[in-house]
Structure 1
Amino acid sequence: MKILLTGGYGLVGRNIRSHSKASKYEWLSPRSSEVNLLEYHSVLGYLHEYQPDVIIHAAGRVGGIQANMREPVRFLIENLDMGRNLLLAAAESGVTRVINFGSTCMYPKNRQEPLAEKDILTGELEPTNEGYALAKITVARLADYLCRENPSLQYKTLIPCNLYGPYDKFDPQWSHMIPAVIYKLHQAKQQGASSVEIWGAGEARREFLYAGDLADAVIYALENFESMPSLLNIGLGYDYTVNQYYEIAAKVIGYKGDFHHDLSKPEGMQRKLSNTRLAQEWGWEASHSLEQGLEKTYEYYLKNI
């Protein structure tokens, strides 16, 4: 099976290609110099030339709260253009199987109950990453519409919760919460700092999946494509407070100091927990605990960053 993996050099892509079963497949992981996902004819030409059997669309403009608030236009337009160019070109060139990646940012804000796939477009989005969310919703809907018009197509969307792991971005200007926490706590440990700042009160709850577990889900999807639902949450099904993430990461890293809260800073959604019932019924669930995932991620950070 020949698979085109967009974003093959990002967090998701590198973890997929590093999976123990990845060698079973032939991978195409082009750089942007080989195919420009922001240009439709570049994508179409690449698909006609290489004719992949499956496309996994893991490329995207990603970042944490700071980056999303700073550049909402870029997060909306680039993610929308990449997704629609890839799906439309896939349909035109005859690629019948696509795994598209969504995000739990697609769900309405401030829902206390776990977010099920049917909840998309049932409420207001979180303002701090609205542009990114709108792009992801539109591309997922486009995948569904293309399949409605042409039943031979199987374009499916996986919706992972927040991710962390090897190959992540650890620069706080661009990173998501866990790599930023690892960076901050490591620096504080090295410098002997007595206290580390946490944005907000730290009571917002977050669900973070180890990226190696998402890679497991992707390989499982390739092996069980027919039975995979068209829209599917991939997550833990349970969450922790921001304060708990700091406390568990401090234990892994060996930071012995205290924490203080800057209540003037935004926290984002108060809770964003995915309902993983469909994934469990399909036959998949995550295997890493938070502490296990943090230990592997910190080991990568020490060796590579």
Structure 2
Amino acid sequence: MEGLQLISTGGALPSRVVTNEDLSKLVDTSDEWITTRTGIRQRRFCGEGQTTATLAIEAAKQALERSGLQAEQIGCCVCATLSGAYATPSTACLVQHELGLAEDIPVLDVNAACSGFIYGAAVARGLLAARPQDSRRFALVIGCEQLSRLMDMTDRNTCVLFGDGAGAAIFALAEDSDFAVDLGARGDMAIETPPNGPIHMDGRAVFRFAVDALPRTLHAVLEATHHTLDEVDWVVCHQANSRIIDNCVKKMQADPEKFYKNMDRHGNTSAASIPVALNELAEDGRLQPGMRIACIGFGGGLTWGGMLLTVKGSVV
């Protein structure tokens, strides 16, 4: 079966750091209240001149440079985002223009909220597989968000959760039995974001959904590839809340060291959270050739998605 292999990563984080103490000056909250309930200590907000697109372009350029590929070798570009500045041109089209990607390839945005990067990778796999066998076999997939522009900064239940950022990955389409993807959706207004915000969320309903979706989706991709969790090197989940991941680890009696966490530094960056985490692992030297990675997303829609794949070569 043709599957995706991870070739390289890139990332971009805004310049402005917003701590829990900063938010406690705006709403009735505290560092202790936020940290104990979410694991979040700070997040990044876009500064002047920074947008979903500028972050996406920066992350994509880094991933392309690290891949050793030329722009004309990319066979498709998919951006996962719910916060692009325009309905059209898409954020992906803006990336295509800035990176000089070929004009005869599919370029598009997808919106599956916090599962968006997994959905984007699945779309990219299908687009690459539809091309001639001797054609471009590499995909650029980006998760990018500027959620700060969609938030009600007087709503303490949501403004403490979200941040901005972007992560990118270059994938290769290859014969690989160690690849599986699992996607699903359940139409539900538990997380609601109008076109110009603000974000509304039923926290309890989302928590109940997430602690069910995460282990179920992880089991699905493990079963599809005939692997056990012991044979996976990293589990990279959507970074919504540390308690969600801890609940899954406990339920599965898993090794917590395999479950990467960075929400303490970035908060919930929706579609960007998984690729930002992958990029951090790569930059820290903790992604090595041949490693198996399970990526699990869950969130607005409600949607969920899981992917198991291998690392090919050095990713930085």
Q: Give the TM-score of the pair, scaled to structure 2.
A: 0.27
Higher relative contact order (CA 8 A, sep 6+): 2
Q: Give the TM-score of the pair, scaled to structure 1.
A: 0.28
Larger radius of gyration: 1
- The structure where helix makes up a greater share of residues is 1
